[in-house]
Amino acid sequence: MLEKREISAAEITASVFARISCVEDSIKSFVTLTRDQAVHMAENADARISSGSKEPLTGIPVAIKDNMCTEGILTTCSSKILKSFIPPYESTVTSKLLEQGYVLPGKTNLDEFAMGSSTENSGFFTTRNPWDTERIPGGSSGGSAAAVAADECIAALGSDTGGSIRQPAALCGVVGMKPTYGRVSRYGLVAFASSLDQIGPITKNVRDTAVLLNIIAGRDPLDSTSAPLNVPDFTAAVGREIKGMKIGIPKEYFIDGMDPEVESAVRTAIKQYEALGAIPVEISLPHSGYAVATYYVLATSEASSNLARYDGVKYGFRSEGKDLIDMYMQSRAQGFGAEVKRRIMLGTYTLSSGYYDAYYKKAQQVRTLIKGDFEQAFRTVDVILTPTTPTAAFKMGEKTADPLQMYLADIFTISVNLAGVPGISIPCGFTSGNLPIGLQLIGKHFDEETLVQAAYAYEQSTDWHKRRPSL
């Protein structure tokens, strides 16, 4: 419509803010709304379009998870320790969106420092699921997924350390992709676990995910872990035939305790792939049972190291103390929430003298075995299909008293981060209570094209992605 001049960027932005004013009080997706900047950005976008310059994202409102630095705009990580932090620089991904002429409606809520699976660990408030406001939207990118599902933006960016894009996308009935580790620059992403974190798109359909990935992917000299590889046109994979594609079904991912409605929806999706000409192949990922334990050793160890910088001295929240050490202790005790403290303590313990070999080193060795499982499987299949989550969205407060139960919510997504491979979650059904169910597709390293191809083929053969919550 923008290209045909049937609508202006200013009108799109006004419609998004009208929607936000209708539903935001009941969803609470945003930590910070940037209406004034958005209006200005939309005016600039319309000027660009009038001059004949139209990039794919020009004039499109894209929400940004509040752990990506935005110059001159609050970036809090939903933590009291950063509640007044305004970055002096722009993250690489948001710089790329600015070059496109996008519109920023606001920064979205998350579990504090991206540590959580429900957005209940936010230092400010819990975001609610648009399909049932008594339930969680998933996490840690819960604000981004809920904003997309509730039509409070056209698309959003999230970050994924152990499932934080795919899990909320599944629970909110939208599409979310974690690209291969190194595909997208992490410069300006506030670090949680540096060897696992990856930025990716959350959108209403697979084509939009491909469009957004085209823009944010690529080598960045400011991030030494970003891969020096050419970025293909991911939208070229949209609409490709999947006849003869081999889809691996890992036996370890259909487990006791999984919601029967989730399992039924995923098995129905496998039959749909067969109808489209794909070939299901049973495979084994034998070390999957160790993934959660491995992840919570490595992720907490890296978090302990990364979060040492929040000491009350250079930036962020600062408490008074009777001396320097007391000031450090008071600042961190008052600034961090319970889950962040728990993970810092776990990580500090696993890295401590006498325990390093037993925990951290052992976890790195098991991580290598998990990565090897995927490499072995991809010798015989093109993609791997699993549930995204073992259950649909649970009620707020249901698991907050039991961290282990909360950690198990990411049981199907964690291995993908440990192995560094890409994964995408797409809607594949609804429970009898009208809650979305997500299907996860996992690809080879730097083969997001095949994921887009397989995900789009399924999406277009069903209507799940067209359903919207009745807010």
Give per-residue burial for 284-312: e unless 16+ CB within 10 Å, then b: ebebbebbbebbbbbbbbbbbbbbeebbb
Query: How far apart are the C-alpha atoms of 299 and 280, rounded to whole Å?
Result: 33
pLDDT above 90 (res 296)? yes
Under DSSP, is residue 313 helix (H, G, I), strand (E, B) or coil? coil
Burial of 415 (0-12, 13-18, 19+ CB in 10 A): buried
Report how far residue 276's alpha carbon sits from residue 401's, in angstroms, rounded to the nearest whole number.
44
Percent of the chain with pLDDT over 90: 93
User: Could you give the CA distance from residue 113 to residue 93 in angstroms, rounded to a whole number?
Assistant: 18
Tokens 């495979």 appear where? 283
pLDDT for residue 191 = 96
- For the chain, report the end-to-end CA distance as a whole number of angstroms: 25
| Active-site residue, selected from the candidate residues 8, 29, 65, 301 | 65
CA distances from 272 to 188, 276, 278, 434, 462 (A): 40, 6, 9, 21, 9
- Better-predicted residue by pLDDT, 316 or 420: 420
Can you tell me the mean pLDDT for 142-152?
98
Angstrom distance (rounded) from CA 325 to CA 311: 10
pLDDT score at 428: 98
Q: Does domain 9-237 have CATH number 3.90.1300.10?
A: yes
Distance CA 380, CA 247 (A): 9
CA gap 15, 45 in Å, rounded: 16
What is d(CA 155, CA 201) in angstroms, rounded to the nearest whole number? 7
Residues 6 or more apart from 187 whose CB is under 8 A from it? 91, 92, 220, 222, 223, 226
Write the DSSP symbol of residue 88.
S
Share of the chain above pLDDT 70, in %: 100
Distance of CA 213 to the CA centre of its chain: 13
Choice among 91, 95, 140, 159 that is catalytic? 140
Q: Are 393 and 132 in contact (CB under 8 A)?
A: yes
Cα 318 to Cα 311: distance, rounded to the nearest angstrom: 8
- Name the pLDDT band for 155 (thresholds 50, 70, 90): very high
Q: Is the pLDDT of residue 113 over 80?
A: yes
Q: Is the pLDDT of residue 156 over 90?
A: yes
How high is the pLDDT of residue 315?
A: 87
Active site residue 84: no
* For residue 407, pLDDT beyond 80: no
Check if 164 is active-site: yes
Report whether pLDDT(362) > 90.
yes
Distance CA 186, CA 178 (A): 13
A 10 A CB-CB count for 277 gives: 12
What are the domain boundaries of the chain? 9-237
DSSP state of 190: P
**Peptide bond preceding 140 in cis form (omega within 30 of 0):** yes
Please provide the size of the chain in residues: 471
Told to judge if 264 belongs to the known catalytic residues of this protein, a careful annotator would answer no
Across the range 145-153, mean pLDDT stands at 98
Pairing relationship of beta strands 155-159 and 62-65 according to DSSP bridges? parallel
Q: Residue 283: pLDDT band by 50, 70, 90 thresholds?
A: very high
Instruction: Tell me what the pLDDT averaged over the chain comes to.
Output: 96
Name the CA dihedral angle for 307, 313, 315, 320, rounded to a multiple of 10 degrees.
100
In this predicted structure, what is the pLDDT of residue 345?
96
Going by C-alpha positions, the residue among 254, 361, 215, 223 that lies closest to residue 301 is 361
Chain-centre distance for alpha carbon 398? 22
pTM of the predicted model, to two decimals? 0.97
Nearest to 309 by CA among 224, 194, 157, 200: 194
Res 442: pLDDT: 98
Q: What is the arithmetic mean of pLDDT over 62-86? A: 97
Q: How far apart are CA 86 and CA 73, in angstroms?
A: 6
C-alpha 422/C-alpha 178 separation (Å) is 6
pLDDT tens-digit series, residues 96-106: 999 999 999 99
> What's the confidence (pLDDT) of residue 53?
86
d(CA 448, CA 428): 19
Angle, helices 9-27 vs 35-50, to 10°: value is 150
Place of tokens 């992720």: 299
356-386 CB burial, b ≥16 within 10 A, e <16: eeebbebbeebbeebbebbeebbeebbbbbb
Contact 97, 58 (CB under 8 A): no
pLDDT band at 471 (very low <50, low <70, confident <90, very high): confident
Query: How confident is residue 405, by pLDDT bands cut at 50, 70 and 90?
Result: confident
Higher pLDDT, 401 or 376: 376
State both tokens at 38.
């958005």
* pLDDT for the residue numbered 404: 75
Query: Would you say 285 and 373 are in contact if contact means Cβ atoms under 8 Å apart?
Result: yes
Active site residue: 117, 164, 185, 331, which one?
164
